[in-house]
Structure 1
Amino acid sequence: MRDLREPTGELVAEDLVEERVLARFGTGLQTTTLTPAPAGRVRWSRTPGPDHPDGWWHPGSVVERLRPDRPGARFALPGSWSARHVAWDVRGATTLAAVVRADPDADLTRRAVRDVVHGLGGLHADLRDVPAADLPPRPPGLDRLAHWLDGRPTTRAGHTWREHLFDRLGARRRDLLRALAADLALRADRSTAAVHGWLSAGNVVVGLDEAGDPLVQVLTGPDVGRGVPELDLGCLLGELVEFSFRAGRHGLDPVGFDHLAHTVRALYPHGVDRDLLHAATVLRIVLHSSDFSRFVGWDDDLLVYPGAIADLLDAQQRP
């Protein structure tokens, strides 16, 4: 199943609309266009898709707390930012999702994942103990998930997928899933910290710095919100877990993806609530599947999700 935010999504145009367009791909959530930018950079521009009419918010002054000298991945803020358009100038046109999918055992892949984890530790250090007046609302993904779990009207295959997943999970697991989502949202609302929000590998660009060394950059900003660090860590971990349980369907060995997931757990520099991290991991997987169903449509890869989600829920402690 394709990621919503990286170049393996539905291709809208490539070198067709205008000479300077390197690639354009989109879903009902958003359209991303890559064009050349000054100093050898690539401009990643995003506009809302047809099923995302409200566009993006600006989280306010909290992002000014991010320090550029932290080790690990760099968190890039948009140079252009409005509800209808965001754009980042970064070095590279390849996402971490594509790098992981191509070879989870490659040195570049392992280094990139390590850099993201170390960088995430720095971001969380920068964004903790924020004055209440400077804290933005919780990341929008938590509300998208809550609305979908509550049975609100949806688009494309969103209703079909919700009915299929809920039927396979059964009442007990459905109730647990809703309880976990409500608990994570409540913890976010009570937090005194901000988080990246929806830390997808499709939002991580892997390129080269001026010296030709690997450089990992995270497209940051529109999803920043009030929350707990486990939310970000669970997003990254959940994506790697997805790669693992989908591997067999595509004739791939899951071991490399499992090793990367272990790296995420082992290298994060701050203490975490393991039960909360597990819950955030499960919720990220459910949110990705629901987003895919309503912003892209049906994909038979979704059929492997109910069993994996059920297993993860069975290993979860109720909040």
Structure 2
Amino acid sequence: MTAVTTVTTATDPVPALPEPFGPDVVAEYGTELQTTRVLRAPDGGFLWWQGPGAQVRGPLLARAAHLVPLLPDDTGAALLTVPERAGAGLLHRVGGSASAAAWLRDFRPQARALVAHSLVSAARALRALHAVPAPPPGELRLGAPPGLGRLRDWARGSSELRERTLSCWGAERLERLLGWADDLAPDPAAEPIPDPVPDPAAGAAPAGRSLVHGWASLGALVPPLSRGRVALLTGEDLAVGRPELDLGWLLGELVELAWTTPHQKPADLQRLLLDAYGPGPDPVLVGRSAVLRVVTHMQDFATYRGWDDELLGYIAFTAELIDEEGRRAVPQGVS
């Protein structure tokens, strides 16, 4: 692998590793938001490098990575892999070359079983992460996840998608959506609220704000190619919010999958995720978070890929999701 650049900043003085590239690359894809490159590692594992897209000023940083708990192998939890800086991006070391999102496109039963196992592992890891209290502002000031920041900017800005969305939704739906975002992860400009003190011994998720993954996603969930632990790429989007935000983010992807791919029936995967996480989350907030995830994907697509008439279907679909408050993301009987 050859170095392209080395980046050092005043906020993160540790020199970066070289950006990885070369003949060991097995996959590369991305948008103008982010580029992902997957390479074979000398030890038989894989390196996942994520760098800034054309519309993003680098370098990418993971300022709160030191707060992420190291979970023992025997917990059944996914490994929360924190990255090393490499060039202008972040480098994760994992055991697989494809994400759970990619495995869901494989129709073999064993592939779906692998995704189910990965979601259970992710749920256990997220519960442990949510037991970490939000850091005091004097130590490290974390705001809402970047995805919600982009959503707020889109809602308050001017774009073709926003104007078309408003003509379908009406202003009231948009205001409801922004209110849900504030409930789950307040805008950093909003008045701060006290953070709860979690009880790690009880294994209970806090009722209020805690450390959250910020982008818990099927694309960030990496099953091992053979043996080893499932990995959840963690770091860049770490933020402060309610635990329901991370759960709804994953469930929202499954809701979107069911809409775009009718033969996919995700109810069993939704139930597995929530059952593995355990009691505590508010199902109403989980459903609302799922809606936020689908809308964020819609606006990210328009911003970083450009307008496509497919988005007209998304606008109508998300209007339905807002009206039902994302209830389809939470199977009946799960609370």
Whether TM exceeds 0.5 here: the answer is yes
Pairwise mapping of residues 152-163 of structure 1 onto structure 2 (< 5 A)? 152=158, 159-163=159-163
SS in 2 for 1:138: coil
SS in 1 for 2:32: coil
Query: Residues 121-144 of structure 1, C-alpha deviation per residue, up to 9 Å, x if partnerless?
Result: 12222x236444245232211211
Please say if 1:279 is aligned against 2:288: yes
CA distance in structure 1 between the partners assigned to 2:175 and 2:108 by the alignment = 35
Pairwise mapping of residues 26-45 of structure 1 onto structure 2 (< 5 A)? 26-45=30-49
Identity %: 34
Query: Residues 272-308 of structure 1, C-alpha deviation per residue, up to 9 Å, x if partnerless?
Result: 1222212211111111111111112234443332232
Contact 2:83 2:234 in 1 (8 A): yes
Contact 1:137 1:226 in 2 (8 A): yes
Residue from 80, 87, 95 that aligns with 2:85: 80
SS in 2 for 1:226: strand
Structure 1 match to 2:16: none
SS in 2 for 1:58: coil
1:62 Cα offset (Å): 4.5
Amino acid at match of 1:302: L
Q: Mind listing any 5+ residue stretches in structure 1 that lack a counterpart?
A: 1-16, 153-158
Contact 1:31 1:47 in 2 (8 A): yes
CA distance in structure 2 between the partners assigned to 1:230 and 1:20 by the alignment = 38
Question: As a proportion of its length, which structure holds more helix?
Answer: 1
Please say if 1:140 is aligned against 2:146: yes
CA distance in structure 2 between the partners assigned to 1:104 and 1:93 by the alignment = 18
Pairwise mapping of residues 62-77 of structure 1 onto structure 2 (< 5 A)? 62-69=66-73, 70-77=75-82
Structure 1 match to 2:127: 121
Structure 2 match to 1:4: none
Per mean C-alpha deviation after superposition, the further-off stretch among 137-146 and 297-306 is 297-306
Structure 2 match to 1:103: 107
Residue from 224, 227, 230 that aligns with 2:244: 230
Query: Residues 24-57 of structure 1, C-alpha deviation per residue, up to 9 Å, x if partnerless?
Result: 2121011112222131011111221111114433
1:91 Cα offset (Å): 0.9
SS in 2 for 1:102: coil
Structure 2 match to 1:244: 258
Structure 2 match to 1:182: 182
The structure-2 alpha-carbon separation of the partners of 1:71 and 1:134, relative to structure 1 and needing over 3 Å to count, comes to farther
Residue from 220, 223, 231 that aligns with 1:206: 223
CA distance in structure 1 between the partners assigned to 2:98 and 2:65 by the alignment = 29
CA distance in structure 2 between the partners assigned to 1:108 and 1:139 by the alignment = 28
Residue from 294, 307, 312 that aligns with 1:298: 307
CA distance in structure 2 between the partners assigned to 1:235 and 1:184 by the alignment = 11
Amino acid at match of 1:244: A
Contact 2:61 2:85 in 1 (8 A): no
Structure 2 match to 1:3: none
Residue from 48, 53, 62 that aligns with 1:49: 53
What RMSD over aligned residues (CA atoms) do the two structures have, in Å?
2.5
Structure 2 match to 1:10: none
CA distance in structure 1 between the partners assigned to 2:293 and 2:102 by the alignment = 19
Amino acid at match of 2:230: V
SS in 2 for 1:38: coil
Contact 2:82 2:235 in 1 (8 A): yes
1:104 Cα offset (Å): 8.7
1:117 Cα offset (Å): 1.4
CA distance in structure 2 between the partners assigned to 1:174 and 1:44 by the alignment = 36
CA distance in structure 1 between the partners assigned to 2:53 and 2:249 by the alignment = 22
Per mean C-alpha deviation after superposition, the further-off stretch among 259-268 and 21-30 is 259-268
Amino acid at match of 1:26: G
CA distance in structure 1 between the partners assigned to 2:220 and 2:321 by the alignment = 25
Contact 2:79 2:232 in 1 (8 A): yes
SS in 2 for 1:22: strand
Q: What's the TM-score once normalised by structure 1's chain length?
A: 0.80
1:312 Cα offset (Å): 1.9
CA distance in structure 1 between the partners assigned to 2:107 and 2:232 by the alignment = 20
SS in 1 for 2:170: helix
Contact 2:257 2:264 in 1 (8 A): yes
Residue from 219, 231, 249 that aligns with 1:217: 231
Please say if 1:314 is aligned against 2:320: no
The structure-2 alpha-carbon separation of the partners of 1:167 and 1:73, relative to structure 1 and needing over 3 Å to count, comes to same
Structure 1 match to 2:63: 59
Contact 2:35 2:52 in 1 (8 A): yes
SS in 2 for 1:297: coil
